[in-house]
């Protein structure tokens, strides 16, 4: 595991609104780890290094290692990050323990590639829309990619890309394609811009709004975890 995915932490003493406020004044973030058939653990993490780490997209889709001051280490994934409403400050983090032998479900970002090389990308008056930007997958931690890639180089005029067309790495599945009540959805398409729409960002926005109006709601949402080791008061 690279140092970029390692988080140094210390056991947090005290709980509640006042204790969390004091931690933040010290430049630290209150955090909690839960899951894995163990009791929740409350932590304090230095704000600066962690704020820098969260600027990487892969931070939210990778297995992280938390190193506690007493020498213990735990593999985790991020489940929730709370930000200050207007300051560049993280207020609280939730981490969930992971096991190498248990399938993990989490959302991964989609990276669209090859757009400029496609027939649709080269055509005048055509907009390629990315209708879905992240997908929930299921995989063992050892098979977890940091993102899913969708190649648009073969996209033709009037063409679409469906969720089922994503080329998945070995050991990775998309639960939405097999669960009852969900199914295949469109993740990218092409839209011809009308003369009245003009060009540029405004035209793209108008075209996207028209396409989304006809698109069925996607059921590929994050699996929210109801567990939490911190109270609402502690996150204030």
- Number of Cα atoms under 13 Å in the Cβ half of residue 48: 2
What CATH number does domain 104-214 carry, 3.40.50.300, 3.30.565.10, 2.170.120.20, 2.60.40.10?
2.170.120.20
Distance, first Cα to last Cα, the chain: 33
Per-residue model confidence (pLDDT) at position 17: 72
If one counts every other C-beta atom within 10 angstroms of the C-beta of residue 29, the result is: 24
Burial class (CB in 10 A: 0-12, 13-18, 19+), 230: buried
Per-residue model confidence (pLDDT) at position 185: 92
In order of 2, 29, 73, 161, 229, the CA distances from 94 in angstroms are 21, 11, 16, 34, 8
* Domain ranges, ordered by start, for the chain: 3-98, 104-214
Closest CA relative to residue 115, chosen from 188, 18, 32: 188
Taking the CA atoms of 170, 175, 176 and 179 in sequence, report the sign of the dihedral they define.
positive
Which residue has 């994503």 as its token pair? 166
Per-residue model confidence (pLDDT) at position 104: 94
What does the block give as tokens for 142? 């050892």
Residue 142, phi then psi, degrees to nearest 5: -70, -20
Geometric angle at alpha carbon 83, from 145 and 39, rounded to 5°: 65
Per-residue model confidence (pLDDT) at position 213: 58
Total length of the chain: 236
Which residue has 């975890």 as its token pair? 225
Per-residue model confidence (pLDDT) at position 18: 74
Per-residue model confidence (pLDDT) at position 123: 92
Q: Where are the alpha helices (DSSP H) in 36-135?
A: 47-53, 119-122
Q: Where are the alpha helices (DSSP H) in the chain?
A: 17-25, 47-53, 119-122, 201-214
Which residue has 């109270």 as its token pair? 231
- The segments of the chain whose pLDDT lies below 50 read 216-233, 235-236
Per-residue model confidence (pLDDT) at position 51: 92
Which residue has 């990619």 as its token pair? 145
pLDDT digits (tens, 9 = 90+) for 72-114: 899 999 999 999 999 889 999 999 999 999 999 999 999 999 9
Per-residue model confidence (pLDDT) at position 70: 73
- On whether the pTM is more than 0.85, the answer is no
Q: What is the 3-state secondary structure (H, E, C) of 135-183?
A: EEEEECHHHCCCCEEEECCCCCCCCEEEHHHCCCCCCEECHHHCCCCCC
Per the prediction, the chain carries an average pLDDT of 83
Q: CA 75 to CA 97: how far, in whole Å?
A: 6
Domain 3-98: give its CATH superfamily: Ribosomal Protein L25; Chain P (2.40.240.10)
């Amino acid at each position: 595991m690279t140092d970029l995915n390692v988080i140094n932490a210390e056991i947090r003493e005290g709980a509640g609104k006042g204790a969390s406020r004091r931690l933040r004044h010290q430049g630290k973030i209150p955090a909690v780890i839960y899951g894995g058939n163990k009791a929740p653990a409350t932590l304090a993490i230095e704000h600066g290094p962690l704020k820098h780490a969260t600027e990487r997209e892969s931070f939210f889709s990778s297995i992280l290692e938390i190193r506690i001051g007493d020498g213990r280490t735990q593999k985790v994934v991020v489940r929730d990050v709370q930000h200050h409403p207007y300051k560049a400050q993280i207020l609280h983090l939730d981490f969930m323990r992971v096991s190498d032998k248990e399938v993990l479900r989490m959302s991964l970002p989609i990276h669209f590639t090859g757009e400029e090389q496609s027939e649709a990308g080269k055509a005048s008056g055509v907009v390629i829309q990315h209708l879905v930007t992240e997908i929930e997958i299921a995989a063992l931690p050892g098979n977890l990619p940091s993102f899913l890639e969708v190649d648009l180089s073969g996209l033709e005029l009037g063409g679409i890309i469906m969720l089922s067309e994503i080329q998945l790495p070995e050991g990775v599945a998309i639960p939405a394609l097999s669960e009852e009540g969900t199914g295949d959805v469109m993740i990218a398409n092409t839209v011809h811009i009308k003369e009245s729409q003009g060009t540029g960002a405004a035209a793209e926005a108008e075209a996207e709004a028209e396409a989304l109006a006809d698109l069925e709601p996607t059921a590929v949402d994050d699996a929210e975890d109801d567990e939490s080791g911190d109270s609402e008061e502690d996150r204030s």
